[in-house]
């Protein structure tokens, strides 16, 4: 046993009695134990070792083809009252859900081993960290959780011998039956149950399940925030670092921004960008009244397709050792991996993601990697990982940035008038669908704070919590901005170059936080003077930039109408303040 905590021991005993595994193994996080488990997974064919010279310590895994992504339709928030889950979550009465799932878990681990994984979300000993225990019958889960979290006996340090404040995660891959697949959260019980899946997003219970859905509920009750945000630091030549957190819906370049490489104009002056996190931020007021953030994770669970030396060299370098690749193509010529967008040389002798032989040169109508194929890589591998990554106090956040994919409406960047207006901006965040996604182009999908699938309680209450946090922080609250890298010209081409050049916009944001840059007031917020965005070395002139900053009043009137429609979902739970903010926007637009 790794702990004397009776709450942990009693719960594990109960779950063992329910699942009836042949044996129980506690994961202590030691290299010897993890190596033995890796050897076992390789011997059964669950994992394959890759080229030790080119990809040392790396493994390949394939999930069942019916099990390749998060299943939102099978993801539930089981709060005791339906209204506490809100209109954006699937709800079921906890008693009903326990009654439904308990028979599925009864004896599900007969003939299998139950692994008990104690883990810390956040640095060991951090006042912002939280403890979880995941029970699973999957070695794949054990090895991924070891990368994504801080696993082992030390995880119990924060918990101690008497606390009951740990998240109870129960997972069984069972028969990987999609008809009986459930990912269920019981926020009031600090509990997550996942069954009939082996895919990371559904079974690495420290990730979205704990770090966002359960933690957002904890944060509301305990006075902190769990957000779907990257955290990066921009270090100036004088050594001073400014930290920014940012929320974007999927396919908006979040990981690329988190691992941004400064363009030459800044690199030659000595600027550096540091990655603290690429996906999740836990934020809590510090002793000095400012908002401090940690990345609760210890690794990256990234989408492989499209990751290459041009789009995100730091991410690709991060995957070069001790990484688990899931559902990518296996290059048999040199025992490495490949995915669409890695390079222009698909392997001729390969196995595609479902395990069938594949020639990437001739079988061009077949994808080598699943579009949602993944890499699980240790954060320590990242060339730009922040020196503050393990700081138990976290890093002070000066700016929060929201963004989406808008062809015409949102300008390149604007700043909210104040925190309350910033909450309004975040609550109305949206992206437009592309043809690849749905067949319908330009449909506006609202994703408040990029938390739509991940908020563990009523989103109206979530907005209210944001407003309360602003009151608590007062004039020490981070400044709030909105960016849009995706404005297009009339032919549909992106006007802004994006990638590393997004730093040019971040530099104006940093200057605003320090009171070193002017702004122009518009109906939607404060915008930069065009000459305050550094265009040196870019093939963009000042007039093009002015176009990128243009606020089209008619489009914004349409936007306001869309916001009314969206807000109606939340009924009387929508904070009055947000109604005032919408009315004020319409007034400024001259409606």
Sequence-distant (6+) residues with CB within 8 A of 572 are none
Question: What are the phi and psi torsion angles at 102 (to 5°)?
Answer: -55, -45
Tell whether 301 is in a known binding site.
no
- The rounded distance, in Å, linking the Cα atoms of 103 and 436 is 40
Chosen domain end from 222, 251, 280: 222
Tell whether 552 is in a known binding site.
no
Q: Are strands 113-121 and 75-77 parallel, antiparallel or unpaired?
A: unpaired
With 0.95 as the threshold, say if the pTM is over it: yes
Chosen domain end from 381, 398, 416: 381
Is residue 54 domain-resident?
A: no
Chosen domain end from 346, 381, 416: 381
Same domain, 510 and 456: yes
The residue to which tokens 């006996």 are assigned: 153
| CATH number of the domain bearing residue 347 | 2.170.8.10
How do the pLDDT tens digits run along the chain, 591 residues long? Answer: 899 999 999 999 999 999 999 999 999 999 999 999 999 999 999 999 999 999 999 999 999 999 999 999 999 999 999 999 999 999 999 999 999 999 999 999 999 999 999 999 999 999 999 999 999 999 999 999 999 999 999 999 889 999 999 999 999 999 999 999 999 999 999 999 999 999 999 999 999 999 999 999 999 999 999 999 999 999 999 999 999 999 999 878 899 999 999 999 999 999 999 999 999 999 999 999 999 999 999 999 999 999 999 999 999 999 999 999 999 999 999 999 999 999 999 999 999 999 999 999 999 999 999 999 999 999 999 999 999 999 999 999 999 999 999 999 999 999 999 999 999 999 999 999 765 444 566 789 999 999 999 999 999 999 999 999 999 999 999 999 999 999 999 999 999 999 999 999 999 999 999 999 999 999 999 999 999 999 999 999 999 999 999 999 999 999 999 999 999 999 999 999 999 999 999 999 996
Tell whether 201 is in a known binding site.
yes
Please provide the size of the chain in residues: 591
Same domain, 443 and 546: yes
The two structure tokens encoding residue 13? 């005993």
Q: Tell me whether residue 438 is exposed, middle or buried, using C-beta atoms within 10 angstroms of its C-beta: 0 to 12, 13 to 18, 19 or more.
A: exposed
The catalytic residues are: 252
Same domain, 495 and 565: yes
The residue to which tokens 């921004």 are assigned: 257
HSE, CB side, 13 Å, CA atoms: give it for residue 202.
27
Is the distance from CB of 586 to CB of 428 less than 8 angstroms?
Answer: no
Tell whether 487 is in a known binding site.
no
Q: Which helix (H) or strand (E) holds 166?
A: strand 166-172
Is residue 64 domain-resident?
A: no
> What is the number of structural domains in the chain?
3
**What's the domain range around 408?**
227-299+387-589
What's the confidence (pLDDT) of residue 425?
98
């Amino acid at each position: 046993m790794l702990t004397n905590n009776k709450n942990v021991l009693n719960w594990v005993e109960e779950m063992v009695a329910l699942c009836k595994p042949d044996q129980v193994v506690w994961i202590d996080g030691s290299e010897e134990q993890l190596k033995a488990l890796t050897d076992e997974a390789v011997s059964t064919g669950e994992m394959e070792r890759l080229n030790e010279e080119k990809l040392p310590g790396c493994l390949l895994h394939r999930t069942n083809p019916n099990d390749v992504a998060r299943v939102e339709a099978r993801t539930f928030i089981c709060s005791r009252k339906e209204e506490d889950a809100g209109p954006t979550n699937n709800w079921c009465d906890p008693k009903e859900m326990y009654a439904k799932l308990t028979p599925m878990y009864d004896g599900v681990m007969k003939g299998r081993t139950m692994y008990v994984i104690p883990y810390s979300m956040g640095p060991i000993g951090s006042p912002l960290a939280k403890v979880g225990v995941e029970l699973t019958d999957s070695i794949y889960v054990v090895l991924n959780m070891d990368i994504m979290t801080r696993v082992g006996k030390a995880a119990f340090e924060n918990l101690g011998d008497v606390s009951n404040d740990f998240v109870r995660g129960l997972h069984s891959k069972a028969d990987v039956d999609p008809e009986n697949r459930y990912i269920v959260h019981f926020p009031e019980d600090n509990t997550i149950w996942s069954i009939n899946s082996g895919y990371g997003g559904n079974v690495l219970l420290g990730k979205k399940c704990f770090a966002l859905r359960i933690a957002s509920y904890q944060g509301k009750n305990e006075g902190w925030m769990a957000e779907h945000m990257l955290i990066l630091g921009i270090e100036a030549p004088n050594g001073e670092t400014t930290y920014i957190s940012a929320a974007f819906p999927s396919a908006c370049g979040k990981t690329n921004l988190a691992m941004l490489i400064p363009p030459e104009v800044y690199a030659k002056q000595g600027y550096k960008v540091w990655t603290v996190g690429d996906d999740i931020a836990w934020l809590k007021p510090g002793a000095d009244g400012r908002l401090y953030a940690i990345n609760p994770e210890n690794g990256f669970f990234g989408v492989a397709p499209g990751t290459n030396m041009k789009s995100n060299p730091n991410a690709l370098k991060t995957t070069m050792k001790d990484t688990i690749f899931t559902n990518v193509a296996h290059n048999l010529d040199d025992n490495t991996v490949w995915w669409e967008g890695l390079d222009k040389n698909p392997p001729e002798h390969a196995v595609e993601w479902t395990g069938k032989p594949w020639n990437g040169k001739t079988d061009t109508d077949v994808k080598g990697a699943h579009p949602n194929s993944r890499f699980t890589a240790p954060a320590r591998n990242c060339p730009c990982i922040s020196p503050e990554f393990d700081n138990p106090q976290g890093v002070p956040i000066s700016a929060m940035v929201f963004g989406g994919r808008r062809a015409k409406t949102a300008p390149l960047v604007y700043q909210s008038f104040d925190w309350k207006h910033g909450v309004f901006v975040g609550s109305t965040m949206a992206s437009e669908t592309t043809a690849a996604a749905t067949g319908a182009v330009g449909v506006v999908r609202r994703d408040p704070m990029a938390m739509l699938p991940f908020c563990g309680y009523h989103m109206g209450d979530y907005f209210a919590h944001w407003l309360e946090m602003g009151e608590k922080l007062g004039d020490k609250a981070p400044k709030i901005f909105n960016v849009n890298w995706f404005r297009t010209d009339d032919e549909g081409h992106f006007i802004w170059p994006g990638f590393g050049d997004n730093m040019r916009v971040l530099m104006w944001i940093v200057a605003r936080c320090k009171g070193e840059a002017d702004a122009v007031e518009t109906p939607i917020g404060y915008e930069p003077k065009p000459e305050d965005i550094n265009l040196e070395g870019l093939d963009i002139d000042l007039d093009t930039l002015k176009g990128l900053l243009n606020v089209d009043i008619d489009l914004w009137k349409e936007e306001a109408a869309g916001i009314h429609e969206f807000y109606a979902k939340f009924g009387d739970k929508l904070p009055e303040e947000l109604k005032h903010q919408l009315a004020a926007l319409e007034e400024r637009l001259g409606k």
